[in-house]
Structure 1
Amino acid sequence: MTQPLMPMATAVWLIDNTTLTFRQIAKFCGLHDLEVQGIADGTVGQSIVGIDPTTNGQLTWEEIRRCEADPDAELRLAEGAKPMATRTKGPRYTPVSKRQDKPDAIAWLLRHHPELSDAQISRLVGTTKPTIQAIRERTHWNMANIRPLDPVALGLCKQQELDEAVQKAAARLARRGGTSGDAGDASPEETSGPVS
């Protein structure tokens, strides 16, 4: 179950304005029963101002009355109050301190996973296709200083993301019968050689 916005403030308001049990409030707000009891006793969250969940559409009075009548019932968020799904697609912010590591990660991916397409590398590391192509062709402006380093160790992507990308690339190669048409124009010999 999803929690209301500002669960502690919501719990304070529910304690002050309803006859709901501590268990019901704790379950709805995602808190422990003793934490809610501490809020009611004044030992926890003394300076927290209560927020009315009915004014911002998270709860309805009918739902509160239903649960006040039945101590075993659980409060449910109003349908319109459910938070939107978190955004997972698209570019991620890369801190300035890690941006210099991107060419190293690209070189590592080209060496150890030549089956990955430019688009997959671009998504994993957060870079552009021209940068990938320049490193593949060894024409990158900083080629002398590029050392292949694992992008997971550099913190540019997660191991799970890398594993999923490699599995997708392997499945794509299997469907095509072993040709690496999407991986670029370079042959495996060119990409598996040392990058210095």
Structure 2
Amino acid sequence: MAQPLMPKATAVWLIEKTSLSFDQIADFVQMHPLEVQAIADGEVAQGIIGYDPVQNGQVTREEIAKAEASPEYRLKLAANAIPVAKGRGKGARYTPVSKRQDKPDGIMWLLRNHPELSIATIGKLLGTTKETIEKVRDKTHINSANIKPRDPVILGLCTQSALNAAVAAAREKLPPAPAEAAEDEGQPEGN
């Protein structure tokens, strides 16, 4: 069962503002009834400000009224009270310090083996800046004497599927080669 947010503060509020039994409160906030009793006696959670579960959508007033009317009734957490985990958004990827020195090697490999890739595509693929790519291309990088072209997939800078997708997208944008265009024009139509 899902637990309400801030269970001790919720228990403090329920003790102060409702006539629920310690068992009902303990069941709702998933604490032991003796711990709830200690909170009520002021032995535990001194200084904790109560957290209103009604105002925050964790339980309704009607649910509390039902529980106050029947000591056997147990409060139920509202379905929408559980926060939904957010998916990871688009943004800068974290590259471990040990792999950062490999980025120029991966850039050089992509520049040599896939010249059809744009600078922006290489930057997105490897999580680097356009300035770094230009410096590697122009051999003005601070470490240009030690750069050896190495596959960025093997270095762990990108996945093979991401590289394949980027190369395929870049090749689709390229105009057809002159040899292919000449062959197409030399064919008689209708055959």
Q: What residue number does 1:32 align with?
A: 31
| Residue 119 of structure 1 pairs with residue 124 of structure 2 | yes
**Unaligned residue ranges in structure 1 (runs of 5+):** 149-161, 186-196
| Residue 71 of structure 1 pairs with residue 72 of structure 2 | yes
**Is the Cα contact below 8 Å between 2:13 and 2:51 reproduced in 1?**
yes
By how many angstroms is 1:15 displaced?
1.9
Q: Secondary structure at 1:40's aligned position in 2?
A: helix
* Structure having greater relative contact order (Cα 8 Å, sep ≥ 6): 1
By how many angstroms is 1:65 displaced?
2.7
**Is the Cα contact below 8 Å between 1:63 and 1:76 reproduced in 2?**
no
> What does residue range 24-173 of structure 1 map to in structure 2 within 5 Å?
24-29=24-29, 31-33=30-32, 35-68=35-68, 69=70, 71=72, 73-77=74-78, 79=80, 81-86=81-86, 88-91=88-91, 103-104=100-101, 106-107=103-104, 118-122=123-127, 127-128=128-129, 130-131=130-131, 133-134=133-134, 137=137, 139=139, 141-143=141-143, 166=159, 169-170=160-161, 173=164
Question: 1:14-71 CA distances to partner (integer Å, 9 max, x unpaired)?
Answer: 1223344545434543x53254343223222111122322234332111123344263
Task: Count residues with an aligned counterpart.
Answer: 154
Q: 2:167 aligns with which of 181, 184, 187?
A: 181
CA separation of 1:20/1:27 partners in 2, compared to 1, >3 Å: closer, same or farther? same
Aligned equivalents of 1:145 and 1:71: distance in 2? 78
By how many angstroms is 1:104 displaced?
2.2
Larger Rg: 2
Q: Secondary structure at 2:103's aligned position in 1?
A: helix
Q: Secondary structure at 1:47's aligned position in 2?
A: coil
CA separation of 1:181/1:57 partners in 2, compared to 1, >3 Å: closer, same or farther? closer
Q: Secondary structure at 1:43's aligned position in 2?
A: coil
**Unaligned residue ranges in structure 2 (runs of 5+):** 114-121, 149-155, 172-191
